[in-house]
Amino acid sequence: MPGVVVFGRRWGIASDDLVFPGSFELFVRVLWWIGTMILYTYHKGNFDCNGRGVLQSYLVGLLVVLALIILSLCAIVYVSAQGTITNPGPRRSIPALVYLRALLYIPEVVWACLGAVWVSDDSKGCDPATVGAVIAAVIASWIILLFTALGVVFVFDPLGNPRPQHAAMEPLGVRDMESSEGTQFFSTARSLAVKVWESRLRLLCCCLPQDESHRAAFSGIAKLVSGFFSDTDLVPSDIAAGLALLHQEQDKMEQSRDPDTIITHSPSSPIEEDLEVELEKAAHCMQFAAAAYGWPLYIYSNPLTGPCKLSGDCCRSHAAEYEIVGGDHLGCHFSSILHSTGLQYRDFLYVSFHNQIYEIPFFVALDHKREAVLVAVRGTLSLKDVLTDLSAECENLPIEGVTGACYAHKGMSQAAGYIYKKLVNDGILNQAFSIAPEYKLVITGHSLGAGTASLLAILLRNSFPTLQCYSFSPPGGLLSKALADYSKNFVVSVVLGKDLVPRLSIPNMEDLKRKILKIVSNCNKPKYRILLQGCWYELFGGEPDDFPTEMDNRREEELSQPLLGEESLMIRNSSSYQSLASDDSPAHTVAHLPLFMPGRVLHITEDGPSRRSCFSQVRYRAEWSNEMAFRSVLISPRMLADHMPDAVLWALNSLTSDKPFSLCPSSLNNSQHHTI
């Protein structure tokens, strides 16, 4: 932080990011130089073959070029390791060293061409080992040049054009953007950032139709992504270092927490059901939510037996027995659903694998065991689903009988509206209840399917007052407070451990950004040490690193200005800027409408030590929580693994079977409880 400025533009890499790539290249170059020196010494400068003069010149020149490259790399690695993330002063010479290193590519290309010419024209009669060594050197040169070119493309920043220089820079490098010139500059920069991200999305989704709905989704997502770090000058490695520091600080706070502050929250719903009964229902519904993913999850969960079970069913035709829509021409998805749920063909009334943006797969079946008409909505499994997930702006969702502001996640709200029209307008639910009029309606889903299922339940609640919804790992940024409170009467959300998605919302991400900026600004260690210690801690555990967490020794007037380096883009009126001065800064709390998880929240955690061996017994505990316990992102190796549907299903089955299980993937951190 900030991005290094060379060749007249800013790049997506900082001056302290060259330690690891420079060290790796240095290791390769030293081995290369040693091998070349051994070859030259072995022949003692005398080569008995054609073109020996060219060969000798090539080897001597290669030794000199490699020596110069090694010296430049040593300087780059040493200088890049100096200073801290927010103090790039000791690394001021990095641009000059980068220019020197780039200049050395010229003789390297010349010598690679010289070696290629010698191999092709003058290598006849020479020692095969010598010829092979020269060929290897030429190939190595071109491989390094190729990877260097790929690295340049990777760190190229389309927004890195030279910025206008201001006459006077502020003491800590924070520009006063209150002037009209500054406002106009940032408005132009943000517009350009949106266009760049739209182009990236179009390229990434080039296989999708470029119709109006997709263009609108690209535009909304581009505004969201480009605006997130638009007021900072962070590079990806700064974010990685901040996450590593934040994880260790959170674990340190967890270890120092008073056990007496860990309590169990009671559900706020007026209808208070027994926890064990809810767990039984949740475990049963999770089978259907997981089954909605089709054959990919079934094969993943049953890698040995799954392919054999599906192979005999995939090509059979059962079109007369159920209505199936889109995307399952071989029947593999439906066969996996049959195996996962244990239902019969006749129990399915409607199965849709049609998948477009805002239109996600679902199925409707008769669950005779629980006497329910069950609607299961699939979670994220395609690029179109990801676009639906990322359409995170708010959309009005007025509901009769609900007072207060009613709005919800746009992508999931539209997906719920799509399924609602199918169920109601196409008469699917009428058909189901004409077959089983005494059954009740149950809606379930996981992840994207959980958010969509919850919104679908809200839309159907007035027509089906007894419906229930089980939402597994739902997104945290889903409903307004009024709708979240309304849903507590009929929605149960199940969250496993430190799952990221239930804690994922725009306000939470803004809070995470603020914490990353603060902890990175306070840390006095170089970035390479932070990343090395962070990787070691994630892989092998140990005690959290002891690093400064408060700015107690700084002058009071400096607390209002973040230390972000000379070329920082942290602007004075931004939420992140103000929040560095105060954790309670209102700027970052009003920037986005608050969104909450649906319904009552059932939180499942591992009971016991936070880290255990792969062969130890694992027990889970379940307790009622509330949506406010998930207003902060927790950094952990389990934050993604706990979101997987098979992990949620395993935990629920463990709780309902009332016996310990040995589960290696859960041996990492996963013991977060609720603190008042």
Quote the distance between the C-alpha of residue 488 and its chain's center: 29
- DSSP 8-state assignment for residue 266: P
Note the maximum CA span of the chain: 97
| Helix, strand, coil % in the chain, rounded to nearest 5 | 50, 10, 35
| Alpha helix stretches (DSSP H) within 104-167 | 105-121, 128-155
- C-alpha dihedral sign at 84, 90, 94, 100: negative
What are the structure tokens assigned to 136, written together? 């290897």
What are the structure tokens assigned to 579, written together? 């929040």
What are the angstrom distances between the C-alpha of 197 and each of 201, 565, 575, 650?
6, 26, 22, 38
Instruction: Give the per-residue SS3 of 423-456.
Output: HHHCCHHHHHHHHCCCCEEEEEEECHHHHHHHHH
User: Residue with structure tokens 């070029």?
Assistant: 65
Using alpha carbons only, give the angle 340, 342, 343 rounded to the nearest 5 degrees. 115
Please, what's the b/e burial string for 241-268 (b: 16 or more CB within 10 A of its CB; e: otherwise)?
Answer: bbbbbbbbbbbbebeeeeeeeeeebebe
Cβ neighbourhood burial of 390 (10 Å; 0-12, 13-18, 19+): middle
Instruction: Give CA–CA dist 582/561, Å, rounded.
Output: 11
- DSSP 8-state assignment for residue 462: T
What are the angstrom distances between the C-alpha of 562 and each of 57, 281, 514, 523, 590?
55, 50, 11, 12, 21
Residue type, 125: G
Q: Do 90 and 16 form a contact (C-beta atoms < 8 A)? A: no
The closest of 355, 304, 298 to 328, measured between CA atoms, is 355
Q: Do 493 and 484 form a contact (C-beta atoms < 8 A)? A: no
pLDDT at site 377: 96
Rg (CA), the chain: 30
Quote the distance between the C-alpha of residue 562 and its chain's center: 26
* Ramachandran class of 473: left when φ > 0, alpha when ψ lies in -120 to 50, beta otherwise: left
Ranges of residues in the chain whose predicted pLDDT is under 50: 164-178, 260-272, 319-321, 549-590, 659-676
Please, what's the b/e burial string for 460-469 (b: 16 or more CB within 10 A of its CB; e: otherwise)?
Answer: bbeebeebbb
Contacts of 501 (CB under 8 A, 6+ apart): 447, 473, 474, 475, 476, 643
Length of the chain (residues): 676
Residue type, 531: L
Residues with catalytic roles: 447, 499
Q: Do 92 and 567 form a contact (C-beta atoms < 8 A)? A: no
Instruction: Give CA–CA dist 3/564, Å, rounded.
Output: 11
Instruction: Give CA–CA dist 178/165, Å, rounded.
Output: 16
What are the structure tokens assigned to 211, written together? 């119709």
The closest of 338, 289, 290 to 312, measured between CA atoms, is 338
pLDDT at site 124: 67
Contacts of 102 (CB under 8 A, 6+ apart): none
Instruction: Give CA–CA dist 137/367, Å, rounded.
Output: 68
pLDDT at site 446: 96
Contacts of 440 (CB under 8 A, 6+ apart): 371, 372, 373, 464, 466, 467, 468
Report residue 88: phi and psi, to 5°.
-85, 5
The closest of 545, 494, 539, 491 to 523, measured between CA atoms, is 545
